């Protein structure tokens, strides 16, 4: 473990580059630590309006800020305040956090930087030293290049979930290591690619890499003491001896031959019931023909899991795609919404959980199915009955090795890691989506260390029949799942969305356009073109009476697949991984224009 501190440095960059060598070396006399106000449990549950403390700002994962200085009338006056080149390339899935005037930015390779959120000056930098892995461990090596939202704030610490399966606590004022713990064996293939949820002095985290050969038998959600790193509980998503139904659902496949069930999107939390909600990904191998699990549901893959936050005990689970044969995955954001007031209030969980693009509404207290609806073209699910039971299109289930089927959506279509946002102003869930299909073919594959056990070949991404636009934002009424509006365009959306009190929905695409849409109509009210595809998680904050909009840019797998489908919208040859921060021109400047 090494730590490098730098003195305050001011960098403004419109394209990605590595930090200069002198910025990476330890300063002889580091600047004195600045004051930092600790993040309390109450603050995490009710963050100040001007701050962005958690991954989606609030633990209900709504991705909403009440700030309204940037609004439908003023958005046209946005200008660049400062920019920052990220310290590593790879897939752009960064999620900046802001508290007490400091921005905490985690990039790929677990490089953490603290910046002055007003000026963009560097305060400190931490570089986690990752183990050397064999070059043949391709899938596992790639995990360090796809760190999504791998930090959380708690007390006076920055909690880091690392690509080598550790939890590390850094002093938020200095970047110094306070403690670290090795949670899982990275030599087997385990890796954190998303950050934890902080709940009542606990770090609740979920591991990735569960489709790598060496990780058979276990994929986990776990809780650790936030002050010491000591484990409190652990839940296995593919081997739950307490639930005979779960054991039976694998069709006799023993735990040592089970893979998948990865909960690789940070969960949400309901303090009213002390419940944490997590989405779980597909089973492995991807085809039931290779997997040997039969044609029934494979619990808890492609499920929503509701767990007691203190004990990790399962309260309920709901199956969104019971027998996935196509890597259509259902781990994405679970958003918690209350509809109505007092005793009549409905406590909802809304989600477009997977790549099939089907939206769901559930009662989050019981797991009861309320509604569902297709958002993009898909041919995998034939129907969902009044109880929420999913019936699949069995014509698309391969019955022989090397049998090719044409599946919509695709492994890179429908709903992906890019997160939607909910606005309490409009009672609407805004979701970035992609129209896409591809061929899927089960194969016989040797399982090797550090590599995935998918045993599947995917054809190139193509548009569904009679569809010409790849990018979609769908506005969904959370009460009944009805569509409010739909924005379509040629390039795919490559960033998460942000909803604000100013009546705007921010997001961006593979064509490098950052845009602000009207929350009521989907009309684009403002847009600007940046250096690379828009990525990660746009967010907003306020300092000294000025509202800022922070937007990551850079390469992503989604941008690459969009470019292959739409060659007229090429992706830049460089990674372009950067952060752009905008604010409004001041009144005097605006009046003079």
| The pLDDT of residue 29 is above 60 | no
Q: What is the per-residue pLDDT for 250?
A: 96
Q: What is the pLDDT of residues 110-148, one digit of tens each?
A: 999 999 999 999 999 999 999 999 999 999 999 999 999
CA 241, 247, 248: angle at the middle one, nearest 5? 150
Q: What is the per-residue pLDDT for 25?
A: 36
Q: What is the per-residue pLDDT for 589?
A: 56
- The torsion of the CA quartet 217, 221, 226, 227, rounded to 10 degrees, works out to -20
Q: What is the pLDDT of residues 299-336, one digit of tens each?
A: 999 999 999 999 999 999 999 999 999 999 999 999 99
Please give the share of the chain, as a percent, with pLDDT higher than 90: 88
| The pLDDT of residue 431 is above 60 | yes
Average confidence score pLDDT of the chain:
93
| The pLDDT of residue 9 is above 50 | no
Say which residues have a Cβ less than 8 Å from residue 380's Cβ, sequence separation at least 6.
321, 326, 328, 356, 392, 393, 396, 407, 408, 409
Rg of the chain in Å (alpha carbons): 22
Q: What is the per-residue pLDDT for 425?
A: 97
Find tokens 């290779």 and name the residue.
Answer: 290
The Cα 264–Cα 441 span in angstroms is: 24
CA distances from 245 to 214, 240, 242, 299, 507 (A): 26, 9, 9, 8, 41
CA 33, 20, 494: angle at the middle one, nearest 5? 90
* Phi-psi label, residue 74: left if phi above 0, alpha if psi -120 to 50, beta otherwise: alpha
Give yes or no for a contact between 448 and 136, defined as CB atoms under 8 angstroms apart: yes
Burial classification of residue 341, based on how many CB atoms lie within 10 Å of its CB (0-12 exposed, 13-18 middle, 19 or more buried): exposed
Please state the rounded mean pLDDT for residues 63-91.
97
The Cα 514–Cα 253 span in angstroms is: 47
The Cα 309–Cα 327 span in angstroms is: 29
Look at residue 244 and give its three-state secondary structure: helix
Q: What is the per-residue pLDDT for 442?
A: 97
Please state the rounded mean pLDDT for residues 223-234.
98
Say which residues have a Cβ less than 8 Å from residue 524's Cβ, sequence separation at least 6.
487, 515, 516, 517, 518
Please state the rounded mean pLDDT for residues 49-71.
98
Give yes or no for a contact between 143 and 136, defined as CB atoms under 8 angstroms apart: no
Please state the rounded mean pLDDT for residues 198-216.
97
Q: What is the per-residue pLDDT for 14?
A: 36
Q: How confident is the model at residue 10 (pLDDT cuts 50, 70, 90)?
A: very low
In this structure, what are the phi and psi dihedrals at residue 19, rounded to the nearest 5 degrees?
Answer: -60, 140
CA 416, 422, 426: angle at the middle one, nearest 5? 140
| The pLDDT of residue 28 is above 90 | no
Distance between terminal CA atoms of the chain? Answer: 52
User: Regarding predicted confidence, which is higher, 236 or 344?
Assistant: 236
Please state the rounded mean pLDDT for residues 178-187.
98
Q: What is the per-residue pLDDT for 341?
A: 79
Give yes or no for a contact between 492 and 557, defined as CB atoms under 8 angstroms apart: no
| The pLDDT of residue 265 is above 70 | yes
| The pLDDT of residue 15 is above 60 | no
Q: What is the per-residue pLDDT for 30?
A: 53
In this structure, what are the phi and psi dihedrals at residue 87, rounded to the nearest 5 degrees?
Answer: -85, -5
Q: What is the per-residue pLDDT for 565?
A: 86
365-396 in b/e form (b: 16+ CB < 10 A) is bebebbbbbebbbbbbbeebeeebebebeeeb
Say which residues have a Cβ less than 8 Å from residue 589's Cβ, sequence separation at least 6.
none
CA distances from 205 to 183, 221, 314, 592 (A): 10, 6, 16, 51
Q: How confident is the model at residue 31 (pLDDT cuts 50, 70, 90)?
A: low
Q: What is the per-residue pLDDT for 98?
A: 98
Beta-strand relationship, 437-442 and 456-458? antiparallel
The dihedral of CA 530, 531, 533, 535: what is its sign? negative
Please state the rounded mean pLDDT for residues 72-76.
98
Look at residue 191 and give its three-state secondary structure: strand
Q: What is the per-residue pLDDT for 590?
A: 53
| The pLDDT of residue 216 is above 70 | yes
Beta-strand relationship, 405-408 and 437-442? antiparallel
The Cα 44–Cα 330 span in angstroms is: 26
Q: How confident is the model at residue 342 (pLDDT cuts 50, 70, 90)?
A: confident
Measure CA 23 to chain center: 30
Please state the rounded mean pLDDT for residues 164-179.
98
DSSP codes, 49-92? TT-B-BTTBSTT---EE---SS-TTTGGGEEEEEEEE-S--S--
Give yes or no for a contact between 397 and 288, defined as CB atoms under 8 angstroms apart: yes
**Which of 12-21, 34-43, 228-237, 248-257 is least confident?**
12-21
| The pLDDT of residue 296 is above 80 | yes
* Phi-psi label, residue 455: left if phi above 0, alpha if psi -120 to 50, beta otherwise: left
| The pLDDT of residue 489 is above 50 | yes
Say which residues have a Cβ less than 8 Å from residue 77's Cβ, sequence separation at least 6.
584, 585, 590
Give yes or no for a contact between 293 and 250, defined as CB atoms under 8 angstroms apart: yes
The Cα 537–Cα 96 span in angstroms is: 7
| The pLDDT of residue 540 is above 50 | yes
| The pLDDT of residue 8 is above 70 | no
| The pLDDT of residue 180 is above 70 | yes
Q: How confident is the model at residue 17 (pLDDT cuts 50, 70, 90)?
A: very low
Please give the share of the chain, as a percent, with pLDDT higher than 70: 94
Please state the rounded mean pLDDT for residues 35-64.
97
Q: What is the per-residue pLDDT for 560?
A: 86
Tokens for 488, please give them.
């379509």
Q: What is the DSSP letter of 497?
A: -
DSSP codes, 80-139? EEEEEE-S--S------EEETTEEEEEEGGGEEEEEETTT-EEEEEEE--PPP--TT-HH
Say which residues have a Cβ less than 8 Å from residue 165's Cβ, sequence separation at least 6.
182, 183, 184, 185, 186, 190, 191, 192, 207, 209
* Phi-psi label, residue 134: left if phi above 0, alpha if psi -120 to 50, beta otherwise: beta
Q: What is the per-residue pLDDT for 587?
A: 55
């Amino acid at each position: 473990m090494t730590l490098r501190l730098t003195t305050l440095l001011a960098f403004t960059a419109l394209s990605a580059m590595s930090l200069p060598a002198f910025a990476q070396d330890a300063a002889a006399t580091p600047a004195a630590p600045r004051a930092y106000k600790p993040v309390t449990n109450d603050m995490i549950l009710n963050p100040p309006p001007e701050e962005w403390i958690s991954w989606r700002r609030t633990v209900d994962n709504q991705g909403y800020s009440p700030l309204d200085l940037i609004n439908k009338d003023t958005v046209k006056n946005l200008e660049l305040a400062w920019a920052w080149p990220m310290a590593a390339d790879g897939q752009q899935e960064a999620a900046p956090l802001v508290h007490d005037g400091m921005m905490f930015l985690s990039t790929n390779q677990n490089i953490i930087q603290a910046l002055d959120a007003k000026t963009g000056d560097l305060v400190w930098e931490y570089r986690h030293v990752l183990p050397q892995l064999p070059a043949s461990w391709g899938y596992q090596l790639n995990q360090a290049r796809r760190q999504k939202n791998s930090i959380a704030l708690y007390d006076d610490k920055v909690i880091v979930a690392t690509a080598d399966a550790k939890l590390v606590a850094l002093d938020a004022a200095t970047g110094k290591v306070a403690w670290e713990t090795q949670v899982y064996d990275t030599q087997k293939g385990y890796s954190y690619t998303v950050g934890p949820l902080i709940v009542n002095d606990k770090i609740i985290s979920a591991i990735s890499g569960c489709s790598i050969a060496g990780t058979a038998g276990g994929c986990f959600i776990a809780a650790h003491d936030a002050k010491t790193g000591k484990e409190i509980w652990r839940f296995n998503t593919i081997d739950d001896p307490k639930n005979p139904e779960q054991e039976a659902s694998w069709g006799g496949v023993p735990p040592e031959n089970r893979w998948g069930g990865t909960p690789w999107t940070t969960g949400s939390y309901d303090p009213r019931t002390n419940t944490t909600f997590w989405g779980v990904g597909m089973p492995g191998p991807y085809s039931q023909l290779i997997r040997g699990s039969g044609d029934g549901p494979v619990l808890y893959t492609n499920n929503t899991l509701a767990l007691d936050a203190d004990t990790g005990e399962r309260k309920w689970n709901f199956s969104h795609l019971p027998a996935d044969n196509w890597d259509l995955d259902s781990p994405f954001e679970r958003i918690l919404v209350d509809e109505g007031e007092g005793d009549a209030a409905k406590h909802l969980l809304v989600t477009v959980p997977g790549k099939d693009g089907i939206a769901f509404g559930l009662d989050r207290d019981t797991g009861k199915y309320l509604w569902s609806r297709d958002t993009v073209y898909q041919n995998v699910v034939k129907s969902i009955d009044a109880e929420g039971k999913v019936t699949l299109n069995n014509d698309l289930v391969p019955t022989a090795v090397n049998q090719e089927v044409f599946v919509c959506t695709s492994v890179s279509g429908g709903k992906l890691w890019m997160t939607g946002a909910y606005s309490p102003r409009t009672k609407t869930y805004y979701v970035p989506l992609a129209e896409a299909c591809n061929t899927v073919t089960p194969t016989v594959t040797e399982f090797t260390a550090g590599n995935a056990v998918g045993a599947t070949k995917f054809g190139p991404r193509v548009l569904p029949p009679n569809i010409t636009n790849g990018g979609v934002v769908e506005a969904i009424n959370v009460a009944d799942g009805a569509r409010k509006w739909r924005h379509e365009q040629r390039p795919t959306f490559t960033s998460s969305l942000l909803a604000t009190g100013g009546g705007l929905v921010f997001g961006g695409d593979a064509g490098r356009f950052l845009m602000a849409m009207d929350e009521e109509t989907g009309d684009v009210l403002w847009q600007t073109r940046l250096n690379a595809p828009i990525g990660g998680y746009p967010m907003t904050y306020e300092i000294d009476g000025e509202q800022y909009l922070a937007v990551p840019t850079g390469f992503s797998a989604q941008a690459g697949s969009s470019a292959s489908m739409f060659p007229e919208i090429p992706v830049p040859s460089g990674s372009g991984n950067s952060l752009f921060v905008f604010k409004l021109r001041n009144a005097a400047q605006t009046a003079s224009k």
